[in-house]
Chains A and B, each alone.
Chain A
């Protein structure tokens, strides 16, 4: 695909890696914020090609991983109702709530459907006026405008049987919270490119300045990741802490004004709980009062569902790079990709799931063909 294939070119990757190897003189810990970037890193084995001094900490930018247990439980409750068609992105179906997941709800007779676009859910509502259609509105700033469009249109077109279960999260407050943590090891951020495609970069200079940390807006193909690392390391080596845009082909400084205006209209900023992390002030969006009629939490009276997250695992520390996954007591015993305790084990790009796979590889006898690069 054009503008993807070119950014996977092994020859250019080598040039970028050469440059990074030549630039780095001491250890640096960088965090890639976004789960999509983590995916690329694992998928292409990029972390193994970087100098040993460059450590990539996988950040909390996976909406599947950070959606709080309480919201999952609300989703499970709503999806179980006989009058409801519950629509979701595929990612969310396997995420465990208390005692079950959406797959199980479907197995128990719930009408749970996977959609590609939020507009598909709206269409299902139009086609089934006698059913209540609920869309599970999760995601970061990238996914928020598409989800916002559904309630905007539902209100405009008068589609009363549609509602949105909202659990949107915002990146900058999470970066702020991570940097404020007493043992924070992160020295530079690869900011999430597609979040910035929508929001622009205006929120970041203040963060970079206050915490004296370079923030480099980074794309998602292998060359994009390497370029993000290259620019971050170069800043760190020079003692700089600026906001830089390494994904200029898709990110304008001002972002997307039409999408931001829609977010302003449909949502309002709220505190939000992140799974495994806890409440981060101002880190989320909920529907603005004028859209309350389309809020599934109110429509189905699930506001009162309160779930305490059991202190079973330590994914919060993992997400911040404070401990390695195997230092958690549950790792590999109670908690495996097949039986995830924590969000970081749920998604195959989660830090714990990735570590689980590679530890299996590293602890088996090394054949020359496979592990000598690691």
Chain B
């Protein structure tokens, strides 16, 4: 349900009594309604769905989540790694991080 993507607010203006912003999604700029996040500011990230900013993206929380992931799975290395074995059986090694997304 609900395809929503994080974008960065570029500028804000009032239009027909409605708070609107241009939001940057990694080089794609779309007009977004800010009525539901009235205190969102330029430079902040928000989760956008069908042209509406619905929730502020908490950058600190995102960072913490990724840091948590970095600490996971360390214990398994001595037992062998089922995921890697599966990937190798498929004829491929897990891709390096920088190759993840072209």
| Residues B50 and A14 in contact, CB atoms below 8 Å apart | no
If the complex has contacts A10-B97, A259-B54, A372-B90, are A194 and B26 also in contact, measured as CB distance less than 8 A? no
Is B42 at the interface (CB under 8 A from chain A)?
A: no
1/0 per position for B56-77, CB-CB distance to A under 8 A? Answer: 0111011011100110111110
Q: How far is the CA of A230 from the CA of B30 in the complex (A)?
A: 35
If the complex has contacts A21-B83, A157-B16, A256-B37, are A34 and B95 also in contact, measured as CB distance less than 8 A? no
Which residues of chain B come closer than 8 Å to A19, judged between CB atoms?
72-73, 76
| Residues A18 and B90 in contact, CB atoms below 8 Å apart | no
| Residues B54 and A194 in contact, CB atoms below 8 Å apart | yes
B18's nearest neighbour on chain A, judged by CB, is A153
* Chain B facing A: main interface SS: mixed
In chain A, positions 1-36 with a C-beta closer than 8 Å to chain B are 1-12, 14-19, 21-22, 34-36
Which residues of chain A come closer than 8 Å to B12, judged between CB atoms?
none
In chain B, positions 87-102 with a C-beta closer than 8 Å to chain A are 87, 89-91, 94-97, 100-101
| Residues A142 and B2 in contact, CB atoms below 8 Å apart | yes
1/0 per position for A186-212, CB-CB distance to B under 8 A? Answer: 000000101101100000000000000
A171's nearest neighbour on chain B, judged by CB, is B1
Instruction: Give the B interface residue count (CB, 8 A).
Output: 57
| Residues B47 and A197 in contact, CB atoms below 8 Å apart | yes
Is A280 at the interface (CB under 8 A from chain B)?
A: no
In chain B, positions 35-60 with a C-beta closer than 8 Å to chain A are 35-38, 45, 47, 49-52, 54-55, 57-59
Which residues of chain A come closer than 8 Å to B49, judged between CB atoms?
142-143, 146, 194
Which residues of chain A come closer than 8 Å to B82, judged between CB atoms?
17-18, 21, 51
From residue B27, how far is it (CB to closest CB) to chain A in Å? 8
Q: How far is the CA of A36 from the CA of B81 in the complex (A)?
A: 29
Which residues of chain B come closer than 8 Å to A220, judged between CB atoms?
3-4
Which residues of chain A come closer than 8 Å to B61, judged between CB atoms?
248-249
Q: Interface with B: A93-101, A115-123, A175-183, A355-363, which one?
A: A115-123
| Residues A1 and B6 in contact, CB atoms below 8 Å apart | yes
If the complex has contacts A3-B45, A157-B16, are A15 and B69 also in contact, measured as CB distance less than 8 A? yes
| Residues B97 and A194 in contact, CB atoms below 8 Å apart | no
Is B5 at the interface (CB under 8 A from chain A)?
A: yes
Which residues of chain B come closer than 8 Å to A2, judged between CB atoms?
6, 8, 26, 45
| Residues B55 and A4 in contact, CB atoms below 8 Å apart | no
Is B11 at the interface (CB under 8 A from chain A)?
A: no
A17's nearest neighbour on chain B, judged by CB, is B83
A247's nearest neighbour on chain B, judged by CB, is B65
Is B84 at the interface (CB under 8 A from chain A)?
A: yes
A15's nearest neighbour on chain B, judged by CB, is B73
In chain A, positions 121-159 with a C-beta closer than 8 Å to chain B are 139-140, 142-143, 145-146, 149, 153, 156-157
List 4 other contacts, CB 8 Å, given A34-B2, A256-B54.
A118-B50, A250-B4, A250-B55, A258-B37
Can you spell out 6 A-B residue pairs with CB atoms less than 8 angstroms apart? Answer: A17-B73, A117-B33, A139-B2, A198-B54, A369-B90, A372-B90
